[in-house]
Structure 1
Amino acid sequence: MYQIKKLIVCLDNSTLDETLVRFASFISKANQTKKIYFTNVIRNLHIPKEVLEEFPNLIDNMVEEKKTHMKEVVDKFFGDHEGIEFSFVVKEGQLSKKILKLAHEKSADMIIVGRKVNLPGTGVISQRLARRASCSLLIVPEGSSPKMERLLVPSDFSDYSKDAMEEAILIVEKYGGQAEIVCQNVFTIPSGYHFTGKSYDEFTSIMQMHAEINFKKFIRKIDTKGIEIQPVYTQDEDDDPVEDILAKAKEINADSIVIGAKGRTAATALFIGSMAERLIQLNDQFPLLVTRPKGKNAGILDYILEI
């Protein structure tokens, strides 16, 4: 895993900006962040040439107004942060493409975006960013508060689940090592279980037993740094493991959900996994960190940005 030296924070001049800047401040303190790019993307303006000739400073004034707003919010929550360089970037064009290009150009370690719940507008296109960014993505619902007491890490014991667990351990270590990590495995009873001669309850016990064995194999490969990892096993009864994950997050009062992006190579980079996709769609309560080893999508990014 890596330090978050360069951070991109996506703002839009709404009240959600304060939440995102608060998270950026919280993250930067533990990561010794060196550079934060606060960015606002304006939709394509399509202003007639005649209007621009009559009002030549129109676009410049608009850009300066947005930068001023961003600076006011940042000053409110950062105060005197020595050693961090701030950059205020206003771009015009397609939101996700501009953010991806900025992250690529600046070799960003993490992108922070908002998830609107009650505020008007759709917010940032989180799924597109999660699929295509060459770094991790933190999606923050409006009204969230940055805390570090309990993290939920859904896991199928795969390599990308390992990435997520290692990232969660690193996060907890940076914040003093006191937070608890809950590792949740959601398992399903196959429809043909009765052909084994076992009852439903018996086969449920068998499935959980194998989940417990696989967790032990999984966690042995990870340096937990002495941090408590609590495994929990959830039987999915409605063919929707994401609902089980969100229910567990509510039950344990999770401060964040951490999940790994499935695409680990250029060939699979656009596939973050169905579970991560649905979590991004359905979750509007918990900060969601979609982890991706830095640079994994870099090989296809130049092509994507030309689409």
Structure 2
Amino acid sequence: MYQLKKLIVCLDQTEMDDTLVRFASFIASVNQTKKIYFTNVIRNLQIPKEVLEEFPNLIDNMVEERKTQMQEVVKRSFGRNEDVEFAFVVKEGQLSKKILKLAHEKSVDMIIVGRKVTLPGTGVVSQRLARRASCSLLIIPENSIPNIKTLLVPSDFSDYSKDALEEAIMIVEKYGGKAEIVVQNVFTIPSGYHFTGKSYEEFTSIMLMHAEINYKKFIRKIDVKKVKITPVYTQDDDDDPVEEIIAKAKDIKADAIIIGAKGRTAATALFIGSMAERLIQLNDTFPLLVTRPKGKNAGILDYILEI
């Protein structure tokens, strides 16, 4: 696990910005964060050459205005932390490409973006960033409040699930060690279960037993420190485990959901996993951290920026 020394916070001049800045402050307070790049991307400007010749300072003035607005939000919503250096970056072009390029150039550890529900605009392209970023991505729904009491980690006991749980353990340790981590395994009864000669109830018991066994094998590979970790097993009845995950998050009043990105190499970098994809699409209630070991996608940056 690594320190979150450098962050990118994607701002867009809406009320969402205050929420994102508060989360950045919360994260920086215990992560030895050294620098935060508050970033705003202006869509491609199609200004006639004649207009630019008549008003040569038009774009420069626009950029300075955006930087000033970001500075005001940070001054209003970022807590006291004299150890953090701020940079205010305004880019022109396609949002996801500019953010990905900046993240690569500055070797950042996490990108923080918003998830809009009622606010105007579309927010940032979270799914595209999740697939292509060479670092972790934190997606914050509007009006979220930073807190660490209960974290939900969906798990299929894979290596990327291990990454997510280790990240959750590190977060709990940094924020005082008193939070609880709920590890949720969602299992499905295969449609051909009846060919085994077992009833539905009997096969459900078999699937649950194996989930419990696999969890014990999984957790033995992880240094849990002294963090409270509670496994839960959920049966998926509608062939959509993400609905079960969101329902569990509501049930336990989770402060965040943490899931590992499936793509860990250049060959698989564009595949973050169907569960992560669906969570990004459907979840508009809980902060969602998509973890990826820093730099795993960096080798294909030139390729992914062309997609």
Same structural fold, with TM-score higher than 0.5 when normalized by the shorter chain: yes
Pairs aligned (count): 307
Q: Report the secondary structure of 1:293's partner residue.
A: coil
CA distance in 2, matches of 1:203, 1:142: 42
Q: Name the CA shift for 1:168/1:79 in 2 (closer, same or farther; >3 Å).
A: closer
Tell me which residue corresponds to 1:135: 135
Q: Which amino acid aligns with 2:141?
A: P
Q: Which amino acid aligns with 1:19?
A: T
Q: Which runs of 5+ in 2 are unaligned?
A: none
Tell me which residue corresponds to 1:55: 55
Q: Deviations over 1:70-113 (max 9, x none)?
A: 00111112254211110000000000000000000000000000
Q: Which amino acid aligns with 1:171?
A: I
Tell me which residue corresponds to 1:300: 300
Matched, 1:240 2:227: no
Contact 2:115 2:123 survives alignment (8 Å): yes
Q: Name the CA shift for 1:226/1:285 in 2 (closer, same or farther; >3 Å).
A: same
Q: Deviations over 1:44-77 (max 9, x none)?
A: 0010011111111111111111101100111112
Q: Which amino acid aligns with 2:265?
A: T
Q: TM-score, normalised by structure 1?
A: 0.99
Tell me which residue corresponds to 1:181: 181
Contact 2:246 2:283 survives alignment (8 Å): yes
CA distance in 2, matches of 1:157, 1:305: 32
Q: Which amino acid aligns with 1:54?
A: E
Q: Which amino acid aligns with 2:260?
A: G
Moved more, 140-149 or 57-66: 57-66
CA distance in 2, matches of 1:86, 1:208: 49
Matched, 1:32 2:32: yes
Q: What aligned pairs does 1:207-286 form with structure 2 within 5 A after superposition? A: 207-286=207-286
- Identical-residue share of aligned pairs (%): 83
Q: Which amino acid aligns with 1:101?
A: K
Q: CA shift at 1:306, angstroms?
A: 4.0
Contact 2:25 2:79 survives alignment (8 Å): no
Q: Report the secondary structure of 1:30's partner residue.
A: coil
Matched, 1:287 2:287: yes
Q: TM-score, normalised by structure 2?
A: 0.99
**What is the CA RMSD across the aligned residues, in angstroms?**
0.7
Q: Which runs of 5+ in 1 are unaligned?
A: none
Q: Deviations over 1:4-63 (max 9, x none)?
A: 000000000000000000000000001010000000000000100111111111111111
Matched, 1:91 2:91: yes
Tell me which residue corresponds to 1:159: 159
CA distance in 1, matches of 2:121, 2:70: 19
